Amino acid sequence: MDIKHSGNNLIVTGLKDFNLKHIFECGQCFRFNEIEKNTYLGIAKGNALCISQDSDSITLYETTEEDFKNIWYEYFDLGRDYGEIKKRLSVDPIMKNAISYGDGIRILNQDLWETVISFIISASNNIPRIKGIIERFCTSFGREINYMGKTYYSFPDIGTIAKLSKEDLSVIRAGYRDKYIIDAAQKFQSGQINNSYIRSLTTPEAKKMLLTINGVGEKVCNCILLFGLQRVDSFPIDVWIKRIVEKLYFGEEQNIPTIAEFAKKHFGDIGGFAQQYLFFYARENKI
């Protein structure tokens, strides 16, 4: 990997196993959108970013090398060898084929608080509506970010949301999820959910703690574990994943506990990566 400056932009070359479309369109985050071919703009970690890709080269617009090293290197999980992960999973010919559709996926290292709220909002919802609710949430309660001549908004902080009522939150049009968002904020604010402490727990212990948040069920919890706590052994199961595992591995309908147990045995400690490749495969093939 090589880093070069071009005016206020940063150009990073020599990347492997990296594709913006695969990363941003595999269901793991909701604040990055394609603004033109191979160019995405979004907000993460309190910062706005416009990023484009041409082969193994990415351009981060109006970004310093310091920000790349302190924020985006970790966010895009650039320190992990995805070639080795794909090699391990590709022992299974079914997974090898699935990986070929989304071989540039990387699991983003997202903020825990943002992940909790985003996936509470995602429950029984579609992606355009999820994105709309989250953007209204940020615009209404987030901090202004000036970037490339425009104003964007950060994800709201815990303290701001913990003080709100359901009536205050009605502006984001999240429906029944308003009370879940406030409950999550209050649990973070009180220290019942502590970012540092939960990271010290085993995955089952962390899962038990997350399930105390109203609106966090099994599937949402596993998404939070994978995308917010980087527990890459987690295997979230939604309708898409259930269908694709049934189609590729069972040939008939199965219940979720059976699929979860299969994933645990078959994919082991890298189940989260398998889940993302399978999700993208199902999306691309409209399964």
Number of folded domains that form the chain: 3
Cα atoms in the 13 Å half-sphere on the side-chain side of 26? 28
Instruction: For residue range 205-224, list pLDDT tens digits in order.
Output: 999 999 999 999 999 999 99
Check residue 194 and give its pLDDT. 95
Residue 91 pLDDT greater than 90, yes or no: yes
Indicate whether 117 and 41 sit together in one domain: no
pTM of this structure = 0.95
Backbone phi, psi, residue 191, to 5°: 95, 0
Do 124 and 202 sit in the same domain of this protein? yes
Compute the chain's Rg from CA coordinates: 19
- Residue 146 covered by a domain: yes
Same domain, 47 and 153: no
Of all residues in the chain, what percent carry a pLDDT higher than 70?
100
| pLDDT score recorded for residue 89 | 98
Please indicate, yes or no, whether residues 36 and 67 belong to a single structural domain of this protein.
Answer: yes
Residue 75: pLDDT band (50, 70, 90) is very high
- 1 confidence band (pLDDT: 50, 70, 90): confident
pLDDT at 287 exceeding the cut of 90? no
Q: What is the predicted pLDDT for the residue at 209?
A: 97
Q: Convert the pLDDT of each residue in 222-274 to its tens digit.
A: 999 999 999 999 999 988 899 999 999 999 999 999 999 999 999 999 999 99
- Does 255 lie in the same domain as 221? no
Q: What is the pLDDT of residue 148?
A: 96
Please indicate, yes or no, whether residues 218 and 253 belong to a single structural domain of this protein.
Answer: no
The pLDDT value recorded for residue 229 is 98
The pLDDT tens digits of the residues spanning 121-153 come to 999 889 999 999 999 999 999 999 999 999 999
Question: Is pLDDT at 286 greater than 90 in this prediction?
Answer: no
What is the pLDDT, as a whole number, of residue 100?
Answer: 96
CATH number at residue 118: 1.10.340.30
Q: Provide CB contacts within 8 A for 141, sequence distance 6+.
A: 156, 160, 161, 164
Q: How confident is the model at residue 7 (pLDDT cuts 50, 70, 90)?
A: very high
Give the span between the Cα atoms of 122 and 243, in whole angstroms. 19
Rounded mean pLDDT, 11-40: 96
- Secondary-structure breakdown of the chain: helix, strand, coil percentages, each rounded to the nearest 5: 50, 15, 35
Query: pLDDT tens for residues 53-74?
Result: 999 999 999 999 999 999 999 9
Domain interval for residue 216:
112-228
Is 17 among the domain residues?
Answer: yes
Per-residue confidence (pLDDT) for residue 113, from 0 to 100: 98
Distance, in Å, from the CA atom of 163 to the CA atom of 254, rounded to the nearest integer, reads 43
Are 217 and 165 part of one and the same domain?
yes
Name the 3-class secondary structure at 131.
helix
**86 vs 273: CA distance, rounded Å:** 9
**pLDDT computed for residue 124 by the predictor:** 86
Q: What is the per-residue pLDDT for 155? A: 98
Q: Is residue 167 part of a domain?
A: yes
Same domain? 70 vs 120? no
Q: How many CB atoms lie within 10 A of CB 145?
A: 15
Q: Are strands 57-60 and 9-13 parallel, antiparallel or unpaired?
A: antiparallel
Mean pLDDT on 172-179: 96
- Residue 98 · residue 166 · CB < 8 Å: no
Query: Do 20 and 128 belong together in one domain?
Result: no
Q: Average pLDDT, whole number, for the chain?
A: 96
CATH number at residue 36: 3.30.310.260
pLDDT at 281 over 90: yes
